[in-house]
A = this chain, B = another copy of it.
Amino acid sequence: MLRTHNCGELRIENLNNIVKLSGWVQKSREFGGMTFIDLRDRYGITQLAFNLEVNAELCEKARKLGREFVIQIEGIVIERSNKNKNIPTGEIEINVSKLTVLNASKTPPFTIENETDGGEELRMKYRYLDLRRNPIQEKLFLRSKLAKEVRNYLDDSDFIEVETPVLIKSTPEGARDFVVPSRMNEGQFYALPQSPQTFKQLLMVSGFDRYFQIVKCFRDEDLRADRQPEFTQIDCEMTFVEQEDILNTFEHMMRHLFKSVKGIELKDFPRMDYADAMRLYGSDKPDIRFGMEFHELNDVTQNLAFKVFDEAELVVGICAKGCASYSRKQLDALTDFVKRPQVGAKGLVYAKVNEDGSIKSSVDKFYNDEQKQAWADKVGAQKGDLILIISGNVNQSRSAMNELRLHLGTELGLRDKNTFAPLWVTDFPLLEWDEETKRFHAMHHPFTSTKEEDFEKLETAPGEVRANAYDMVINGVEVGGGSIRIHDRATQEKMLSLLGFTAEEAKAQFGFLMDAFEYGAPPHGGIALGFDRMCALFGGSDSIRDYIAFPKNNSGRDVMIDAPAPVSKEQLDELFLAQKQSK
The CA-CA distance from A578 to B573 in the complex, in Å, is 11
The CA-CA distance from A132 to B557 in the complex, in Å, is 42
The CA-CA distance from A314 to B578 in the complex, in Å, is 51
Main secondary structure of the interface of A (DSSP, over half): loop
Report, as a range, how many residues of chain A touch the other chain. Answer: 35 or more
A36 contacts the other chain (Cβ, under 8 Å)? no
Contact B520 A104 (CB under 8 A): yes
Q: Which B residues touch A577, using CB under 8 A?
A: 577-580
Looking at the assembled complex, report how far the CB atom of A431 sits from the nearest CB atom of chain B, in whole angstroms. 24
Contact B132 A167 (CB under 8 A): no
Q: Which B residues touch A189, using CB under 8 A?
A: 564-567
The 8 A CB mask of A20-43 against B (1 = contact, 0 = none) is 001010000000000000001111
Contact A230 B582 (CB under 8 A): no
Q: Contacts A140-B162, A166-B216, A179-B567 given; 20 further ones with Cβ under 8 A?
A: A2-B523, A6-B209, A41-B209, A42-B208, A69-B520, A103-B523, A128-B206, A132-B207, A140-B208, A148-B161, A165-B558, A167-B230, A178-B190, A187-B566, A188-B565, A188-B566, A189-B564, A203-B549, A573-B580, A576-B579
Q: Which B residues touch A183, using CB under 8 A?
A: 176, 220
Q: Which B residues touch A129, using CB under 8 A?
A: 206, 519
Q: Which of B137, B206, B488, B576 makes the CB contact (< 8 A) with A207? A: B137
Q: Which of A80-88, A239-247, A365-373, A467-475 contacts B (4 or more CB under 8 A)?
A: A239-247
Contact A565 B169 (CB under 8 A): yes
A300 contacts the other chain (Cβ, under 8 Å)? no
Contact B578 A578 (CB under 8 A): yes
Contact B556 A182 (CB under 8 A): yes
Q: Which B residues touch A417, using CB under 8 A?
A: none
Contact B70 A521 (CB under 8 A): yes
Residues of A at the B interface (CB closer than 8 Å) are: 1-3, 6, 22, 24, 40-43, 68-70, 72, 102-106, 108, 126-129, 131-132, 137, 140-141, 143-144, 147-148, 151, 155, 160-170, 172, 176-192, 198-199, 202-203, 205-209, 216, 218, 220, 222-223, 229-230, 232, 239-242, 245, 487-488, 512, 515-523, 548-550, 552, 555-558, 560-568, 571-582
Looking at the assembled complex, report how far the CB atom of A132 sits from the nearest CB atom of chain B, in whole angstroms. 5
Looking at the assembled complex, report how far the CB atom of A195 sits from the nearest CB atom of chain B, in whole angstroms. 14
Q: Which B residues touch A512, using CB under 8 A?
A: 560-562
Contact A207 B550 (CB under 8 A): no
Q: Which B residues touch A22, using CB under 8 A?
A: 240, 522
Looking at the assembled complex, report how far the CB atom of A3 sits from the nearest CB atom of chain B, in whole angstroms. 5
The CA-CA distance from A189 to B181 in the complex, in Å, is 11
